[in-house]
Amino acid sequence: MLAAAAILAEAGQPEVLRFWPQLSEEERGSLAAAVEQLEPAELRDHCRAAARAAALPPGHEPGPGPHTGPQALQPLPPGVVGSAARAQPAELNRWRERGLQEIGEGRVAVLLLAGGQGTRLGVPYPKGMYDVGLPSGKTLYQIQAERIHRVRTLAAERTGRPCPLPWYIMTSEFTLGPTQSFFSQHGYFGLPQADVVMFEQRMLPAVGFDGKVILEGMGRIAMAPDGNGGLYRALTDHGILDDMERRGVCEVHIYCVDNILVKMADPVFIGFCVERGADCGAKVVGKAYPTEPVGLVCLVDGHYQVVEYSEVVPATMQRRNPDGQLTFNAGNICNHFLTVAFLKAVAWEFEAQLKPHVALKKVPYVDEDGNCVKPEKPNGIKMEKFVFDVFQFSKNFAVWEVLREDEFSPLKNAESVGAKDTASTARRALLWQHYRWALQAGAHFLDHSNNRMPACTQLQETDDPPVVCEISPLISSAGEGLEERVKGREFHPPLLLTE
């Protein structure tokens, strides 16, 4: 207890031990161990920053924004933006070949941000373990693992030799154990176990509006992951950058777990960024409508940044170019390219400059009598950093615009919450995509009378595709290589195309 008490006294948080006499020996040991992992000065600064944020009016919390002034907020320069829809086939093929070459030579790794819990989904396990209801029953983790298999195969065909493609998975205290067990139970989905590297991001105490650490139990501090921007400290905490160097990795594809359409180590994106000499890159999608609540990739005071939609005034969101396109149209999808050299610079030089974002949360707590309370309104603050906050440090930034229907359908909400970003919308997006792939490869579908069904390729967000068609990522990760399997053939749906 002495060490824990000294840490808390220095941090100005002695109240954390107020229930100490009432705790069992096991509870005391657990609480002391948790406290001893905290650095006093960091804890003191963390709590003070949270208290300052709580004292500010709504919408004025510390962080990168707001940046609504006409001089501060500027659209992306055309020179940094490439587009999958507007690029010429020869360009796409060149970038794809360059990306496959990089992968084949072992210079690429994939890094998954998987520290969040499935709270909004209403499940007690990590999002990656979620089954959205596909005919195959595959979870997000399995889909992503099989896409890694496929891109490894394509790169091996390109280079003529087997290629490694390490998969780094950043978890949190909440998700590490279940994720490790899930991968172990499924044999790492056929990937080499040594190439699946899991590591844990830091946890930070939740803080009340009075600047005091919240106890969720008499002997338990309320903790939360430090945001996906905690990646940069976790990379050094666990020696991940050293591991990348040992493997010869030079470029990293970073993404969030909940996007069912994510392209793993997308060769086109990698080739595009490498050819441009980018140290940092971002995939974006065009906004569906001016006020869509997505972050904007743009320039702020001359630096690249993601600005939250809530920090942009309506007039700015509605601005259009002479051709009618939205001026601020680059929607962030948390899908990034970073070189290892840039990651090192961020981890060792710039990480301390990142400003935490403030999230007001309903944090269960114990009152002064030790009773557990579930608040009905926000009572605490969680401070977190975002992975894209490092764009400002890039010396050569690149943006790759992709089509939403091809690459972005996040899974965030339970079906009971609404019709957006749910298991239904994610499943529908994947089945529409695979149906389009099958048609483009020359497949035909028959109705109950054995008549060919007319092709329907227009995505209707609220409608299911006319037939159910699921294609294993082990066969195709982006619609490639399907002609030899389906061209000219007729199928009675549902079609589940497997190896």
pTM reported for the whole predicted model: 0.93
Is-contact 262 40, C-beta < 8 A? no
pLDDT given at position 478: 95
Residue 325, judged by CB atoms within 10 A of its CB (0-12, 13-18, 19+), counts as exposed
Q: Could you tell me how far CA 410 lies from the centroid of its own chain?
A: 9
Q: What's the confidence (pLDDT) of residue 420?
A: 86
Domains of the chain by start residue, with CATH: 59-412 (3.90.550.10), 439-497 (2.10.10.100)
Interaxial angle between packed helices 140-159 and 176-185, expressed in degrees from 0 to 180 and rounded to the nearest 10: 60
Q: What is the mean pLDDT of each run of 10 residues along the chain (499 residues)?
A: 89 95 94 93 92 72 47 87 96 98 97 86 92 97 98 95 95 94 98 97 92 95 91 96 98 97 98 98 95 92 90 90 92 97 96 88 92 92 92 97 96 84 94 96 95 79 86 97 96 93
Residue 149 to residues 69, 367, 463, 486: CA-CA distances in angstroms?
47, 51, 31, 21
3-state secondary structure of 464: coil
Question: What was the pLDDT predicted at 480?
Answer: 96
The answer to whether 400 and 281 have CB atoms below 8 angstroms apart is yes
Q: Which of 285, 311, 286, 309 has the alpha carbon at shortest distance from 296?
A: 309
